[in-house]
Amino acid sequence: MADPTLAQDAGAHTRAATPRPRRTRSPLASVALHGTLGLAVLVALFPIVWVVLSSLKPGYAIQSSEITLFVEPSFDNYVHVLTETSFPRWFLNSAVVAAFTMVIGITMSASAGYAMSRFNFPGRRGLMWVFLVTQMFPVAILIVPIYTIMANLGLIDTKLSLIIAYCTVAVPFCAWMMRGYFDTIPKELDEAAALDGLGPFATFYRVVLPLARPGLAVTAFYTFLTAWGEVAYAIAFIQTDENLTLGAGLQQFVPRFNPQWDSLTAGAVLITVPAALVFFFAQKHLVAGLTAGGTKG
């Protein structure tokens, strides 16, 4: 546990050793620092800003070689995408698939992570290795066998096939992450709960999970993102337009020789909104020090 008095002492020491207080920085250093940061922000933001700006332009202006910020700005592209294409249908499908992937993913990785962190069962090490090893295979290799499995199960062209496939991607990683998080929660808390009368499930649910909120938030975000924008499995498993998800559906805006940039940019902007919302709710739970004060030593 960090000792605040020690930290203060150390701080005082640094200040005593350096005559110049930490806050003042030479003007040159200040310019260089802020310049670098500004450039980094620009590089990161430019593509997003450009897509947003483009989505407000008519199609011909997007492809024009002339660089302009605004050309006849309007929401026409959005109206078109939302009313005259299957975009709303894909959006809904994606939302359903991502939501189920998230819920199932959190449930499975939290319980698997807890088991790996706390219980000694036969095959525990083996299971942990399998979780790691599955992460090594790229989608390109997995897609055919998984397709075959889905076909045998009669799941091709269903949302369920995507949910299962996305869980196989997200759960092993998230289970490892959750295990690491549970490892930081002292075992004595589980034991205290057991003595207080809780069974293993209630201990997990009432004592351990509330303390693992930051881990759960990251898992939620990760599982959501895994499903939300995924393309490869979506194209492989889904065959009818009515079942398409966003990643696959948007491909229809890109006919071979004539990408419809107007629809594409508007769709891209709309797609980022839910992801941003999920991130917004997840980051609220990313707080440090939830277990502080429970134990000493």
Partner 1 sequence: MSTSTSSSVTFSGATRIYPGSDRPAVDALDLHIEAGEFLVLVGPSGCGKSTSLRMLAGLEEVDAGQILIGDRDVTHLRPKDRDIAMVFQNYALYPHMTVAENMGFALKIAGVDKATVRKQVEEAAAILDLADYLDRKPKALSGGQRQRVAMGRAIVRQPSVFCMDEPLSNLDAKLRVSTRTQIASLQRRLGTTTVYVTHDQVEAMTMGDRVAVLKDGLLQQVDTPLGLYEKPANAFVAGFIGSPAMNLGTFSVVDGHARIGDGLVPLPRSTVEAVGAAGQVQVGFRPEALLPASEGDPGSFAVQALVVEELGSDAFLYGDLVGDDLRADHVVVRLPPRGVPQKGETVWFTVEPGGLHAFDVETGAALPTH
Q: Which of 102, 98, 41 lies closest to 246, judged by CA?
A: 98
Chain length of the chain: 297
| Other Cβ atoms closer than 10 A to 253 | 20
- Please give the Cα distance from 221 to 219 (Å, whole number): 5
CB of 198 to partner 1, least distance (A): 6
- Please give the Cα distance from 84 to 95 (Å, whole number): 20
Name residue, tokens 């490869």: 232
Considering only residues 140 through 159, tell me which ones interact with partner 1, judged by CB under 8 A: none
Considering only residues 162 through 191, tell me which ones interact with partner 1, judged by CB under 8 A: 186, 188-189, 191
Q: Does the footprint of partner 1 cover residue 27 (CB under 8 A)?
A: no
Segment interacting with partner 1 (CB under 8 A) among 99-107, 144-152, 202-210, 279-287? 202-210
Q: At 93, give phi and psi (nearest 5°).
A: -55, -45
Of 112, 150, 207, 269, the one binding partner 1 (CB under 8 A) is 207
Report yes or no: 215 and 114 within 8 Å, Cβ to Cβ: no
Q: Does the footprint of partner 1 cover residue 123 (CB under 8 A)?
A: no
> DSSP 3-state assignment of 128?
helix
CB of 3 to partner 1, least distance (A): 12
Considering only residues 271 through 290, tell me which ones interact with partner 1, judged by CB under 8 A: 289-290
CB of 124 to partner 1, least distance (A): 12
Of 82, 99, 143, 192, the one binding partner 1 (CB under 8 A) is 192
Query: For residues 46 and 205, which CB has a smaller minimum distance to partner 1 in the complex?
Result: 205
Q: Which of 233, 257, 259, 261 lies closest to 247, judged by CA?
A: 233
First and final CA of the chain: distance in angstroms?
Answer: 8
Q: What is the largest CA-CA distance in the chain?
A: 74
Q: Which of 271, 270, 272, 250 lies closest to 261, judged by CA?
A: 250
Q: Does the footprint of partner 1 cover residue 196 (CB under 8 A)?
A: yes
Q: Does the footprint of partner 1 cover residue 4 (CB under 8 A)?
A: no
CB of 72 to partner 1, least distance (A): 55
Name residue, tokens 């940061």: 37
Query: For residues 90 and 204, which CB has a smaller minimum distance to partner 1 in the complex?
Result: 204
Of 130, 133, 210, 254, the one binding partner 1 (CB under 8 A) is 210
Q: Does the footprint of partner 1 cover residue 2 (CB under 8 A)?
A: no
Of 41, 199, 241, 242, the one binding partner 1 (CB under 8 A) is 199
Residues forming the site for partner 1 (CB under 8 A): 120, 186, 188-189, 191-199, 202, 207, 210-211, 289-297
